[in-house]
Amino acid sequence: MNSKQAHEDLIKSGRKETLQRQIMEYMHRYKSATFSEVSAFYGVHDSVFWKRFSELARMGLIVKTTQSRINKNSGKNITVWSLK
């Protein structure tokens, strides 16, 4: 399965909207987040949420901040997002 097929399956299953809703619930509670923080909160791998953040940004619901935080898994700086 290629990434386009995987994305289509994600949409058909309703999982994409569920993931986006989980991000928004976290953001409303904590005001800002990284994809890694949301992933840790829900107990899943970082890759589950990272693409959903840019989708929510394109919808105008969240924005990138000028801040970054250290990803506990990779040790790299990652973007902090906040509610728009």
Residues 41/26, Cβ–Cβ less than 8 Å:
yes
Spatial distance between the Cα atoms of 26 and 33, rounded to a whole number of angstroms = 8
Confidence of residue 55 (pLDDT cuts 50, 70, 90): very high
Would the pLDDT of 73 be above 90? no
> What mean pLDDT, rounded, does the chain reach?
89
What value does the mean pLDDT take over residues 20-42?
96
Architecture of domain 3-83: Orthogonal Bundle (1.10)
What value does the mean pLDDT take over residues 33-40?
96
Confidence of residue 48 (pLDDT cuts 50, 70, 90): very high
Spatial distance between the Cα atoms of 52 and 44, rounded to a whole number of angstroms = 14
